[in-house]
Amino acid sequence: MRAALSAARRVSLAICIGGFASYSAICGTPEEDDAAIAQNLAAMLRDARTVISDQQDLINNPQLGDKHLTGDVVLAQAIAKYEKDTGSDPKKVDPASRQGRLLRAMMAAIVEVVDDNQPTINEEGTGFKGFIPAVFARLVAESFVHLAKGEAEIKVTAPLELVRNRKARPDPWETEIIEKRLLDPAWPAGQPFSATVETKGRPAFRFMVPEYYAESCLACHGSPKGRMDVTGYPKEGGKLNDLGAVISITLYH
């Protein structure tokens, strides 16, 4: 009996270990579960966006036609990064669980966006194609919202005055959290904000992950403010380590 109990305990411990950063995976209170799911969805989106960032030279090579950078190739590279970050294999999460369903929706969205954009990626004779990490992330977020069928939403947003694409604008709640919390100099860098709030008439767990400008962002979002960047948008005058992005996740209850 004791042996059986401790075996069961070992199993449940094994399930609880291996989440993202300080969040252990699927165990604990519902809020912790939601936080783990949100954190893992953000991690998958970020890892896929890093793949698109790493592949910019290939994507923008005007000499090459077919780049063999298909949805499956990008997803495999994103999963490898995700496994390294989180220590867990997203394909093994129970597909019947909320986390399993939503992670699969995210992976399907990544594949869909890369596959839909093959004509752009493979266009010969054009250098810069505008298929940049931010555009990719917005398209994946849109596709995820569609595939998650009202169960969850994700958006990559930013402080209102920095937002380029109207579709990425923060809603009033997001704006308040960005201004009062994430932009507060006392807010610990990188720490997510979470709360359970009524959203679109439904109770929802909301999770906001702050991200900061790195040197590589400033070619487009840096100085001089107002000067056009390579994509045709005026630069925002951002500085290194400024809050430049927020991954916002909503899990409806």
The tokens describing 238, both together, are: 């951002």
Comparing CB distances to ligand HEC, the nearer of 33 and 236 is 236
Q: Which is nearer to ligand HEC, 114 or 162 (CB)?
A: 162
- Least CB distance to ligand HEC at residue 58 (A): 15
**Measured at CB, which residue is nearest to ligand HEC?**
217
Q: How many CB atoms lie within 10 A of CB 233?
A: 12
The distance of closest approach from Cβ of residue 17 to ligand HEC in the complex, given in angstroms and rounded to an integer, is 30
- Given a contact cutoff of 8 angstroms between Cβ atoms, the answer to whether 59 and 130 are in contact is no
Taking the complex as a whole, the smallest distance from the CB of residue 216 to ligand HEC amounts, in Å, to 5
Residue 96 burial by Cβ neighbours in a 10 Å radius (0-12, 13-18, 19+): exposed
Give first-to-last CA distance, the chain, whole Å. 38
The two beta strands, 243-252 and 202-212, are antiparallel
Q: Which is nearer to ligand HEC, 216 or 223 (CB)?
A: 216
Give whichever of 6 and 231 is closer to ligand HEC, judged by the CB atom: 231
- Give strand pairing partners of 157: 246
Binding site for ligand HEC (CB under 6 A): 132, 134-135, 138, 156-158, 162-165, 168, 211, 213-214, 216-217, 219-221, 229-231, 233, 244-245
CB 74 within 8 Å of CB 166: no
Whichever of 147 and 245 has its CB closer to ligand HEC, that residue is: 245
3-state secondary structure of 9: helix
Please check whether residue 24 is in contact with residue 17, taking contact to mean a CB–CB distance below 8 angstroms.
yes
Shortest separation between residue 49's beta carbon and ligand HEC, angstroms? 9
Q: How far is the CB of 213 from ligand HEC (least distance, A)?
A: 5
